Structure 1
């Protein structure tokens, strides 16, 4: 038997790439968010200055000592899992060895809470070398937090391992009297198969894996029969592996069974290996965790961290890289700086000089950004600068800049996106990631000030188009989280955000070309020229092929001719106008918008603008003394003015978009002067914005909801509206049978606001069930969108570019931004009964049908 590893810093990171802290570089500590922790930060955005910025005062970044844990003093920064305490120098105090040659500090007394290791610690703590994961509370009082985090230990997902609830699970002091009482009250069950029933004195079994690499290889060889480095219900292996117990140092073997536990084992081994671990102790509770708790924990503690970015001198190289563009000019990372941000230009020049191997190119943007200029950058695209704050290094006294944190959606979408950011902010705020949500508002203020709009994303090829506007609501919810009325700096933050939102409202959404003067409603109608460069190379082949044949050239040759304006094709110009509109809408792509988007006054956009008008009225009345002078155009308005705008828009929406007979808010074609009939889940955005009447809401619940509610929640559109599919008419990802997190979230909130919380709860259960089932059956997967009509593999989406979040090896580390939020938000609608049902993966209809009559009312059944 191999002895447990006595690890030092050298042995732990031997053969591993080190970062500046001498820790192995893994997918948990990628250098996207490098900070100088020993710094004072002053909040002075690089956006256009005003008096509000200076009023906010300094922000302080306190230094953190990674060599200590609150409550237990210094711990080793290099000791392995299970190592002992350290002396004041930080070195490991090696304990005397016992007669078998094993160090005493590796002997885990599972009967004592004094050596309790939180089985649900973050991966960085549980496996990482920076912090010792062992907790050492000496009483129930000091252990409360740890006990609370683990009190929901559940029976094994295979229904065959743990047959009783332990004292630890109940949060009891593990005294002899309590153990005797538990044994006295223990109900006997049929004995399970070999070694499946092994319960320690605390009911918290722990494994010792003496060779992580070998165990990982054996597990994959046995269970990953389709060789995709995942263990799912589609694999045909025996679904069992023997793992050694910690008490016997791996000598006694116990069966771990079932897809869920085995896939979790694969995930934990993959993570441990990424941290340079060769041997580990592993709590069974960690691989047998209730899936609802596990997914919530991963989203809160892991996924958000891995999706968070912050621009610094050392991270800009990785952040600026773009995997979507394959041109020779896109090979080197590049960043574009607004013409009037000299401090940022100097900062990024410094970054390029610090590491010439990055080949970072830094360029100024012109004062006037035209569609022609944006098209000229298609071959040499780059990242667009966003808001930064001044940092004072106390060790040198010199000033530098650092970016505000922000979250990216995930997968191929590695930038600051528009409406994705709002939806992620909802989840980030629920999980106390307030700084990231606030940072994204700061970036949007900067984008409006310097680029004229909140961009689709901060890449050069997005300069001409925006995305659905959510800044007012986003600023308000962040404002409340950072202190609200009791915090002067929060008020200044809110006022800056609303100044930017009013500028965006006037200059982007209610001006040419987006405003239709006849209806007074707005359309997704961005500027731009040529073929969108960020799409897959073959995305437009079907459209371009007839034109290539017309000119007797190859597709590649025709693309160049068209982009260089060497040929004139008005029909193609109009097609790409609508295509850019679809991308600005966020619903790219759907047959709802194909060939008409720029001419549609949509219910989603006009609902959001109604919300802007109401929010602006509220803020002007309460925070601008009911009189707002616009510095951009010199006008002065009151809250009453904005309320009147909202009421006018509400009346126009009812006139042009509402269909009483069908119970839908449809879109209106301003060119053809007629209402469409495409049945979309965006009809519920009218409820989210609060513009529908109570009578309209009731009609929607009675008529539109039945057409859109399916197994996994709300489908993006009805099957009838989508129409038949064929080789020449393939599926679109924002159409039936796919469902998206934004549609669920807005419907839940809107229905609840109008008194239909039971329906919201029912739809939320459907969505959460689908997510949980895929998570359990498919190796912890969380993806961008789902086929909400499939009960077995809803993550499998064949439309367009497939599904983001599905392509991982061993362990999913990010999920997908707004889907992560939807899970956290959806659980707020669930009571304990529903959470238990989700944890057991009970499908919606069996769950609903088994409810008592009075319980069915909770779900409006």
Structure 2
């Protein structure tokens, strides 16, 4: 059945009656009657009741108007009364991925130039030294859009240079391709909200969702842009903004390539090209001694740079700056300005920011696991990811190159070469990161020469990477999983490891009680690889129930992160919560949250999906 209505009039009347707090959403917090008589074009009335169904009506009206249908439109009642899980999944596939897609060509440039994190007088586009096509292309565009300024980067990008352009923040160019004499940008998906650029590890998790939804062109575009970044910036960037030039993010490139190949048809030459750049990244980013490779043969996050982390909001480092201002007996603002301008020498503060940039490189910004120590840690997550690189390289060389691969620099790599590296890394992980007494993985502080005791969801990364023995997996599920499992899914760390929140130990967004999509997805896949099917389905259900419950009650909201203890998207922590501030309908949701929903739905049984639509409390099921 359908309704024939005037969407503009219906939207106006609906908001006046139901949206009493004026946020252009209908939620359980609104105190309207939650019963609306919608007038059809023929004069007949149709009554819709309940928060969820009224918010669906609001969304459908907004979508119709957005398409240009302002006076007469047909609204399907199937969409209004759609089961929650089906609606969320359908909107992600049909609308949200497109809403989050960007291109750095003339057609798409204006959409991606905006950066809410900084104030901008001009839109700067930074182009690599040796990309002549991009420089000419953007220079031509800048003649038409005079607010755009195009800058060619130096051949060697040093931390000192990166510091000099902090007062002119801008976009770093990505891959362009010429087809039929027209230049187009390779597409990529942004996380959403203020994160309006291509991010490192976000892109992997987004690609899992894209491949699940058969958005193969988008997944391929992400891989092409990563290859461009390795070739032109020397690394996969934290994100393609100028203030991210000196740091990368967790390495997932081999997984993106491998999973894309498994879902699509590609040429051997394409695989060769991508494998070549993945090996290049492994060797030149991660395996350089004295930087991201520590003396014990394991790896650490080590983001280069000078002074302040640029992209944080005003006052983020207030406590640490106040401490050193008092120590130097200089007024706060004066000390802050002098330090930013490098007019004051403070090695201790320099080291603090080395750790801070490195924890941002880890993606876990911020967590008590890493604050003021990250660059001294061989973390479980990073070394598991690099073990996965080594085994992925071995598998691809075996499968597509008969056990022997010759790089573009004529270096020969064999399957055995990479398996030997993986075997050695696994040995080092077990020697340094595995606690036999507790039956858990922990990070290793090589500066203090001791294993840490911070109980984190990242301890499950070895399962995802297939780096654990079955016995180790059994112990993790027995010893750690019960400590991390909450009503709404897996929490980032235990409350005990986080510690008591006070002035000296502020709440951090990657700690208890918050849960994040990448942790859930990696734990699910890891558990499945070790045949923990029942445990996986329970964790998937808890997480999807949390997302679904909040979407039903809050106008379709899909947030960046959730409080998995109190089961809400309303969080009081650093940076707030992206994806919760929108009008009418979520503006793309949030990238990796979308992906976790789509991947999770592929794991659940039909019986559990029915329970999910009925919002059956997970504690009643498990």
CA displacement at 1:352 relative to structure 2: 1.3
- The aligned counterpart of 2:389 is 612
- Partners of 2:278 and 2:509 in 1: CA distance: 30
Aligned to 1:369: 157
Please, which of 183, 192, 201 is the counterpart of residue 410 of structure 1?
A: 192
**1:549 positional shift:** 4.2
Question: What's 1:426 paired with?
Answer: 208
Asked if structure 2 preserves the Cα contact closer than 8 Å seen for 1:471 and 1:497, the reply is no
1:89 matched residue in structure 2:
none
Aligned residue for 2:308? 531
Query: Shift of the alpha carbon at 1:271?
Result: 2.3
Match in the other structure for 2:63: 271
Of 656, 669, 678, which residue of structure 1 is paired with 2:445?
669
User: Matched residues in 2 for 1:696 and 1:461: separation?
Assistant: 40
Q: Is the 8 Å Cα contact of residues 403 and 415 (structure 2) preserved in structure 1?
A: yes
Specify the SS of the correspondent of 2:480.
helix
- Contact residue 356 and residue 374 of structure 2 kept, 8 A: yes
Q: What displacement does 1:845 show?
A: 1.8
Q: Secondary structure at the match of 1:841?
A: coil
1:261 — aligned with what? 53
Matched, 1:692 2:488: no
Q: Contact 2:129–2:153 at 8 Å: present in 1 too?
A: yes
CA displacement, residues 742-797 of structure 1 (integer Å, 9 cap, x when unaligned): 01101110000001011111100000100100010000000110001124xx1111
Residue 448 of structure 1 corresponds to 230
Q: Cα deviation per residue 1:52-102 (whole Å; 9 max; x = unaligned)?
A: xxxxxxxxxxxxxxxxxxxxxxxxxxxxxxxxxxxxxxxxxxxxxxxxxxx
RMSD: 1.6
Q: Which residue of 1 aligns with 2:490?
A: 714
Cα deviation 1:448-479 (Å, max 9, x = unaligned): 11111101001111111000001111001112
| Moved >6 Å (runs of 4+) | none
> Residue 36 of structure 2 aligns to a residue in which SS?
strand
**Distance in structure 2 (CA, Å) of the matches to 1:449 and 1:733:** 33
CA contact 2:294–2:300 (8 Å) conserved in 1: no
SS of the residue 2:300 aligns to: coil
2:263 to 470, 474, 481: 481
- Equivalent residue runs for 1:312-461 within 5 Å: 312-326=105-119, 330-356=120-146, 359-392=147-180, 399-461=181-243
Partners of 1:412 and 1:428 lie apart in 2 by 21
Q: In terms of mean alpha carbon deviation, does 300-309 or 280-289 score higher?
A: 280-289
Bigger Cα Rg:
1
**TM-score, normalization by structure 1:** 0.71
Distance 1:753 1:474 in 2: 18
CA contact (8 A) 1:603 1:666 kept: yes
Label 1:680 to 1:257 Cα distance change in 2 as closer, same or farther (>3 A).
same
Asked if 1:294 corresponds to 2:95, the answer is no
How far apart, in 1, do the equivalents of 2:620 and 2:327 lie?
58
Q: Which moved more, 1:538-547 or 1:453-462?
A: 538-547
In the TM superposition, residue 663 of structure 1 has moved relative to its aligned partner by: 2.4
Separation in 2, partners of 1:440, 1:493: 14
The CA deviation at 1:550 is: 4.8
2:61 aligned with 1:284, yes or no? no
Q: Distance in 2 between matches of 1:436 and 1:559?
A: 43
After superposing the two structures, state which structure 1 stretch, 332-341 or 667-676, moved more.
332-341
CA distance 1:617–1:413, change in 2 (3 Å): same
Alignment of 1:9-408 (within 5 A): 204=1, 206-210=2-6, 212-245=7-40, 249-276=41-68, 277-326=70-119, 330-356=120-146, 359-392=147-180, 399-408=181-190
The separation in 2 between residues aligned to 1:433 and 1:620, in whole angstroms, is 26
Distance 1:514 1:546 in 2: 29
Q: Contact between 1:405 and 1:436, CA under 8 Å: does it hold in 2?
A: yes
Written as runs of structure 1 = structure 2, the 5 A alignment for 1:460-609 is 460-483=242-265, 487=266, 489=267, 491-550=268-327, 555-609=332-386
Query: How far did residue 661 of structure 1 move?
Result: 2.5
**Unaligned segments of structure 1, at least 5 residues:** 1-203, 393-398, 849-861
Q: CA deviation at 1:262?
A: 0.9
Find the counterpart in structure 1 of residue 429 from structure 2. 653
Q: Which has the higher helix share?
A: 2
TM-score after normalising by structure 2: 0.97
Aligned residue pairs, count = 621
**Whole-Å separation in 1 of the counterparts to 2:79 and 2:223:** 36
Per-residue Cα deviation, 1:333-360 (whole angstroms, up to 9, x for no partner): 111111111111111111112333xx11
Deviation at 1:552, TM superposition (A): 5.8
Question: Highest relative contact order (Cα 8 Å, sep 6+), 1 or 2?
Answer: 2
CA drift at 1:554: 5.2
Contact map agreement 2:286 2:293 (CA 8 A) in 1: no
In 2: Cα distance, 1:533 partner to 1:726 partner: 26
8 Å contact kept, 1:513–1:525: no
Looking at structure 1, the residues matched to 471 and 614 of structure 2 have their Cα atoms a distance apart, in angstroms, of 38
CA contact (8 A) 1:479 1:493 kept: no
**CA deviations over 1:582-617 (Å, ceiling 9, x no partner):** 100000000010110000000000000000001111
Deviations 1:397-434 (A, max 9, x none): xx342111111110111111111000000000111110
Q: CA deviation at 1:272?
A: 2.5
CA contact (8 A) 1:321 1:332 kept: no
* Cα separation, partners in 2 of 1:476 and 1:221, compared to 1, 3 Å: same
SS in 2 for 1:445: helix
CA contact (8 A) 1:243 1:250 kept: no
Aligned to 1:758: 534
Q: Distance in 1 between matches of 2:322 and 2:42?
A: 63
User: In 1, Cα distance between the equivalents of 2:470 and 2:289?
Assistant: 33
Seen in structure 2, the aligned counterparts of structure 1 residues 556 and 482 have a Cα distance that, compared at 3 Å, is farther
C-alpha separation in 2, matches of 1:230 and 1:663: 47
**Residue pair 1:207, 1:250 contacting (<8 A) in 2 also:** no
Contact 1:302 1:813 in 2 (8 A): no
**CA offsets per residue over residues 519-562 of structure 1, 9 Å max, x none?**
21000011110111111111111211233345565544433311
Contact 1:660 1:699 in 2 (8 A): no
**Residues in 2 aligned to 1:552 and 1:660: alpha-carbon distance in whole angstroms:** 48
Aligned in 2, Cα 1:279/1:256: closer, same or farther, shift over 3 Å?
same
Distance 1:512 1:528 in 2: 18
Q: Take 1:680 and 1:416, find their aligned partners in 2: how far apart are those partners?
A: 27
Partner Cα distance (2:191, 2:10) in 1: 33
Distance (Å, rounded) in 1 between the aligned partners of 2:331 and 2:56: 49
Q: Deviation at 1:275?
A: 3.1
Conservation of the 8 A alpha-carbon contact between 2:517 and 2:593: yes
Partner Cα separation in structure 2 for residue 771 and residue 419 of structure 1: 21
Is 2:603 aligned against 1:810?
no
Unaligned runs of 5+ in 2: none
Give the Cα separation in 1 of the matches to 2:404 and 2:230. Answer: 22
**Shift in Å, 1:385:** 1.1
- Please give the alpha-carbon distance, in whole angstroms, between the structure 1 residues aligned to 2:29 and 2:504: 31
Q: List per-residue Cα deviations over 1:643-666 (Å, max 9, x = no partner).
A: 011000001101111112222210
User: Conserved in 1, the CA contact under 8 Å of 2:384 and 2:467?
Assistant: yes
2:204–2:252 Cα contact (<8 Å) kept = yes
Aligned-partner SS, 2:399 = helix
String of CA shifts for 1:618-676, please: whole Å, max 9, x gaps: 222333343334445x6433111110110000011011111122222100001000000
